[in-house]
Amino acid sequence: MKCETKPFGKTAAGEQATLFTLKNDNGMSVSVTDFGANVVKICVPDKDGKVADVALGFDDIKGYEDNDNYLGAFVGRFANRIGGAEFTLNGVTYKLEKNDNGNCLHGGFGPYGIKMHEYEFVEDEDSIGIIFSRLSPDMEQGFPGNLDYSVTYTLTNDNEFIIEYFANSDKDTIVNFTNHTYFNLAGEGSGSVYDQLAWIDADSYTPTDAELIPTGEIAPVEGTPLDFRTEKPIGRDINADHIDLKNANGFDQNYALKTKAGDATLVATLRDPKSGRKMEVYTDLPGIQLYAGNFLNATGAKGGRSYKRGEGVCFETQYFPNSCNVKAFPYKPLKADEEFNSITVYKFVNE
């Protein structure tokens, strides 16, 4: 196992960013950068040993400075949408940035995915990792509390890419981190993922209004095109006549998982029958956003390519969107001096 480093460009402010490539003994590698703790590449062998980069992204940090499609993005302080861009905690209403139809999306503008992070390596016999950390100051993006957080990216010899989040705050606050990597198991830039098959171990999901704010309901997937309890191609039902598919222009829903805090459970898979690559998603979080890249429109990506609708799919593990405002959703604010932690694993196998 080893980690290679190389320069990844300079920020507009002149800071030098680095690309760290974690390599295991089976030909798999994961590249991440201290600029925004973004995930840049995930190179995975197929059943014949042919390696492809299965993560959409950019060749240097310029793309990540203006990454409005959130390619590979580390998202904080609160993933997905907060309705009306406000929430109330301990009787105080906090106003957030309105960056999505008057709502707050992925914490607001920046800064998690665009700030330089400190780093530290962690290594043992069968894994190699890097810890990125930063202090998010009190009221950054409008959220209370100085939040000391870290994201650890680890690659193991079992082809697991492990993401662990830790955080603590000096004031009560809300935290919901996710990773927004778009996967294409045939390789980034190879076209649509609609023929790739997804499975999600969820009996229910959270319907939304037309602005993709949850209605507060937790509805069964049974009998709807949103049912992924039996593996099916992502494209099969994506244009079906269903209000939630219409609202989101395709799959972009939060599924309610049967997980337990602290216990990473297999919740979803993605499989590409042609290459034989399969990805298993494990998490201890209560929700996962299946986002089939409905609004994807990125230019100047790797090799100068563009990515369009459906050319990547995200499995964003998370607390439910707007859970800070909906009593019926499983969510607890982070108390001052308590520790937030969660784990998500993307494991690659061949079938």
Residue 67 interacts with ligand GAL (CB under 6 A): yes or no? no
Q: How far is the CB of 342 from ligand GAL (least distance, A)?
A: 17
Residue 316 interacts with ligand GAL (CB under 6 A): yes or no? yes
Residue 295 interacts with ligand GAL (CB under 6 A): yes or no? yes
316 classed as catalytic: yes
Nearer residue to ligand GAL within complex by CB, 216 or 273: 216
Q: How far is the CB of 80 from ligand GAL (least distance, A)?
A: 5
Give me the residue label for tokens 């997980």: 259
Nearer residue to ligand GAL within complex by CB, 28 or 298: 298
**Could you say which residues in the range 68-87 bind ligand GAL, by CB under 6 A?**
69-70, 80
Nearer residue to ligand GAL within complex by CB, 69 or 322: 69
Residue 289 interacts with ligand GAL (CB under 6 A): yes or no? yes
| Binding test (CB under 6 A) with ligand GAL, winner from 252, 272, 280, 284 | 252
What are the structure tokens assigned to 29, written together?
């590698």
Residue 181 interacts with ligand GAL (CB under 6 A): yes or no? no
Site string for ligand GAL, 87-126 (x = CB under 6 A): ------------------x---------------------
What Å distances lie between residue 277 and 17, 159, 160, 266, 315, CA to CA? 31, 12, 13, 17, 16
| CB-count exposure of residue 257 (10 Å: 0-12, 13-18, 19+) | buried
351 classed as catalytic: no
Q: How far is the CB of 110 from ligand GAL (least distance, A)?
A: 14
Q: How far is the CB of 138 from ligand GAL (least distance, A)?
A: 26
Nearer residue to ligand GAL within complex by CB, 252 or 272: 252
What Å distances lie between residue 92 and 87, 321, 341, CA to CA? 8, 20, 25
Nearer residue to ligand GAL within complex by CB, 44 or 292: 292
Residue 228 interacts with ligand GAL (CB under 6 A): yes or no? no
Three state DSSP letters for the chain:
CEEEEEEEEECCCCCEEEEEEEECCCCCEEEEECECCCEEEEEEECCCCCEEECECCCCCHHHHHCCCCCCCCEECCECCEEHHHEEEECCEEEECCCCECCEEECCCCCCHHHCECEEEEEEECCEEEEEEEEEECCCHHHCCCCEEEEEEEEEECCCEEEEEEEEEECCCECCECEECCEECCCCCCCCCCCCCEEEECCCEECCECCCCCECCCCEECCCCCCCCCCCEECCCCCCCCCHHHHHHCCCEEEEECCCECCECEEEEEEECCCCCEEEEEEECCCEEEEECCCCCCECCCHHHCCECCCCCEEEEEECCCCCCCCCCCCCCCECCCCCEEEEEEEEEEEC
| Binding test (CB under 6 A) with ligand GAL, winner from 291, 307, 320, 348 | 291
Residue 270 interacts with ligand GAL (CB under 6 A): yes or no? no
Nearer residue to ligand GAL within complex by CB, 37 or 130: 37
Nearer residue to ligand GAL within complex by CB, 80 or 150: 80
Catalytic choice (106, 140, 180, 280): 180
**Could you say which residues in the range 196-215 bind ligand GAL, by CB under 6 A?**
212
Q: How far is the CB of 81 from ligand GAL (least distance, A)?
A: 7
Residues designated catalytic: 180, 316
Q: Which residues bind ligand GAL (CB under 6 A)?
A: 69-70, 80, 105, 212, 252, 289, 291, 295, 316
